[in-house]
Amino acid sequence: MLPKPNFFVGKVPVYGDLILAPMAGFSDLPYRSICRSLGSSMSYTEFVNVDELSKGRNGSPRARQKLCYQVNERPVVFQIYGHDVDRIVSVAQNLQDLGPDIIDINMGCYVKKIAERGAGAGMLRNPNIIAHLMERLVKTLDIPVTAKIRLGWDDNSRNYMEVARALADHGASLVAVHGRTRSQAYSGEADWDAIAEIKQSLSVPVVGNGDVRTVTDIDNIKAHTGCDAVMIGRAVIGNPWILQRRDRQEVTLPDRMELVRRHLALNLKFYGVEKGLVLFRKHVARYIEDTPARVRKIRVPLLTCERVSDFENLLCSLGSEVNEPVGLSV
């Protein structure tokens, strides 16, 4: 007998209250698979530019690769962004054929080249466009549509209530909120009061995001805001165990090394040997933070080795306590 869902996104049940945030360069299929197995209750893809998905017949190979997923990741959320309403709607309609459970519109990316073109957080300056976009998407698609927002463009335009209501009133099935403005990026403190205000005003699920680094933070943001779930981004990098409600210092060295091997194996399978090893370097650097000196001393060799066998030999050099067999056969 299945447990009771924590909440629904439209008719899609969600079991759990912790979610890996969509992050460019990190929330790819290998890492989502790791995080889903450790407790992330939904799988958001990296955000994908609708312009890239409009190239050729099926979009650029790189864009399409970001949307690859496994069935056991469900519910799967495709996150897309753009500034042209017609193109967003057209691309979203085509993406339905790939079988996602949910389409999410990124309205929170603060990066200048994206936001100043009116995409990502740039959309927050135009609540009327947001309302129009959401209404069209909901009428066009057969699956739920959601959005991830920030509190506004800057401190002089904290229009989060207007944006949140525009989304919910025009059919959004969930709103995820990062408690900072676009101009803050990740500086200052996340405003949990604002997230609570949104939660109290909407009837759809609200996901809280921002300044969640520990298990205590998870409990605190839920108690403070009443949010239906907590989305965690930067704090998951190198510590996906937080999705099991385990703080970094509680994770043993053997557990870390086992996951290093498991994650690398997934990367090699998905990207191929050469690219998979290179892309894994940023992960291993974070996995071995705050480890004993004997582990940190091999950091540079791990980040520069070009062969999987060399990588494995470096791990084996740490001694028998971290040398559990994990099936790295490439």
* pLDDT tens for each residue of 115-152: 999 999 999 999 999 999 999 999 999 999 999 999 99
3-state secondary structure of 6: coil
Instruction: Decide: residue 304, CB within 10 A, 0-12 exposed, 13-18 middle, 19+ buried.
Output: exposed
d(CA 290, CA 258): 16
Residue 324 pLDDT exceeds 90: no
Q: Report which residue type is found at 256.
A: R
d(CA 95, CA 326): 36
Q: In this predicted structure, what is the pLDDT of residue 57?
A: 65
Q: Enter the tokens of residue 137.
A: 């998407």
Residue 330 binned pLDDT confidence (cut-offs 50, 70, 90):
very low
Q: What is the pTM of this model?
A: 0.93
Q: In this predicted structure, what is the pLDDT of residue 326?
A: 33
Task: List active site positions.
Answer: 109
Q: Domain spans of the chain?
A: 7-248, 252-322
Q: Report the range of poorest mean pLDDT among 187-201, 235-249, 265-279, 310-324.
A: 310-324
Q: How far is the CA of 238 from the CAs of 193, 206, 318, in angstroms?
A: 29, 26, 19
d(CA 50, CA 47): 9
* 147-162: average pLDDT: 97
Any idea what the Cα angle at residue 104 is, between residues 145 and 71, rounded to 5°? 95
DSSP conformation letters of 271-292: H-HHHHHHHHHHHHHHHTTT--
d(CA 225, CA 120): 24
For domain 252-322, the question of CATH label 1.20.120 is answered with no
Q: How many CB atoms lie within 10 A of CB 237?
A: 20
Residue 112 pLDDT exceeds 90: yes
Q: In this predicted structure, what is the pLDDT of residue 295?
A: 81
Pick the CATH number of 7-248 from 3.20.20.10, 3.40.50.300, 3.40.50.360, 3.20.20.70: 3.20.20.70
Cβ-Cβ contacts under 8 Å for 24 (sequence gap 6 or more): 46, 47
Alpha helices in the chain (DSSP H): 29-38, 50-53, 61-66, 85-95, 112-115, 127-140, 160-169, 192-201, 215-225, 253-271, 273-287, 293-296, 299-304, 308-316
Q: In this predicted structure, what is the pLDDT of residue 58?
A: 67
Cβ-Cβ contacts under 8 Å for 274 (sequence gap 6 or more): none
d(CA 189, CA 230): 16
Q: Report which residue type is found at 29.
A: L
Residue 303 pLDDT exceeds 80: yes
Closest CA to 50 of 17, 11, 23, 89: 89
Q: Report the range of poorest mean pLDDT among 129-133, 171-175, 305-309.
A: 305-309
Q: Enter the tokens of residue 188.
A: 């200052």
